Amino acid sequence: MPNIALLGCGGFIGSHFLDAFLADPDVRVEGWDWTPAKIMGHLGRPNFRFHPGNIYGQADLEERLSGCDVVVSLAAICNPSQYNTKALDVIDSNFIQARLIADACARLGKWLIQFSTSEVYGQTLAHWATADGQGNGDPALYEMDEEETPLLLGPVASQRWSYACAKQLLERWIYALHKEKGLDFTIVRPFNFLGPRMDFLPGREGEGLPRVLACFTSALLDRKPLPLVDGGSARRTFLAVEEAVEALRLMIAKPAMARNRIFNLGNPANETTIRGLAELMRRTAAEITGDPGYHDLPLTDVSALEFYGEGYADSDRRMPRIDKALNLLDWRPSMGLPEILRRTLEDAFRTHGPVRL
């Protein structure tokens, strides 16, 4: 196993990556993040060196990267509530700063595994081109394929797309570095990973508006209504974060299969509307606590303007094709959404809940 540089190692995906990789004493990880709050248990490990603070302010960054075999870049601002309210920071983080890592990898001859996003696909062809927005059930109009599907972002004033646009430009920059400077790359497009330690619980672990899992978890813990933006009709597919980490392990173990390719990582079998997600989370909370009262928590409609402010827009649907990961990496996601939510909510209730499990 190689020496791995992990930028953003203290975040949601990074912390699960460390759980899986540091268990192998042959792996060495150099990690960077603002804070180690989610990875305190790993700090003393002999095969892990942590560099706190801003990645881009560190004088020895390039020297450290040069000692690694592969650079995994997760570091980003990736919270939808900021795409329309802090678009300058979002573009800075997801393109202007992130490209410095890609440039360094090209200079140093290092393999870069860059986390992009499923959001680069934007809204589906079905959304743009068919009257009902559903594509009349034709999968070609909503499935997202790495090689074929166009990337359909909304207008500039829809600032929601600042993130997707910055990530798309980063992908194009990396691809050009490959073509013109010989950079070896892998681009990963995550489709809504779920699991413990995602984001923060507002009022308990931070302030602001996290992604949907933490919003709903927080509402359940506080026994408050679950807010459904624009009725919760948007659709997502969800993947267990542990299975995403397994895909990453396979990429690193099979460089000839993974290099110079783009991979969707998601689980098409786990599709639901956001309303469906809210209902399932209520049911799961009732099951794990044995308290049927959770079934009665209201789901309240809230407009996108009220919830996120001006400039928000939504991805209507994210249905990945994952043939490349299946065939090239021999990766098989199998965990169903009920099981993912059970594990995630058990963790949240154990840590924060009024109920002892």
Nearest to 318 by CA among 127, 139, 123, 164: 123
Alpha carbon distance 314, 325 (integer Å): 26
Q: Which of residues 24-63 bind ligand NAD (CB under 6 A)?
A: 32-34, 54-56
Which of 121, 142, 163, 308 is catalytic? The answer is 163
Amino acid at 109: G
**Which of the ranges 39-47, 102-110, 111-119, 324-332 carries the binding residues for ligand NAD, by CB under 6 A?**
111-119
Cβ nearer to ligand NAD, comparing 236 with 297: 236
124 is in the binding site of which of ligand NAD, ligand UDP, none (Cβ under 5 to 8 A by kind)?
A: none
Q: Which residues bind ligand UDP (CB under 6 A)?
A: 80, 119, 192, 211-212, 215, 227-229, 232, 234, 236, 274, 314-315
Other residues' Cβ atoms within 10 Å of the Cβ of residue 321 = 18
Nearest to 293 by CA among 352, 217, 224, 201: 224
- Tell me: does residue 115 bind ligand NAD (CB under 6 A): yes
Strands 271-273 and 235-237: what pairing? antiparallel
Residue 163 falls in the annotated catalytic set: yes
Shortest Å distance, C-beta 299 to ligand UDP:
9
Cβ nearer to ligand NAD, comparing 64 with 286: 64
22 is in the binding site of which of ligand NAD, ligand UDP, none (Cβ under 5 to 8 A by kind)?
A: none
- Tell me: does residue 12 bind ligand NAD (CB under 6 A): yes
Judge whether 306 and 233 are in contact, CB under 8 Å. Answer: no
- Tell me: does residue 117 bind ligand NAD (CB under 6 A): yes
212 is in the binding site of which of ligand UDP, ligand NAD, none (Cβ under 5 to 8 A by kind)?
A: ligand UDP
Q: What is the CA radius of gyration of the chain?
A: 20
Alpha carbon distance 172, 151 (integer Å): 12
Instruction: Please state, in angstroms and as integers, the Cα–Cα distance from residue 46 to each residue in 5, 24, 69, following that order.
Output: 15, 11, 18
| Residues designated catalytic | 163
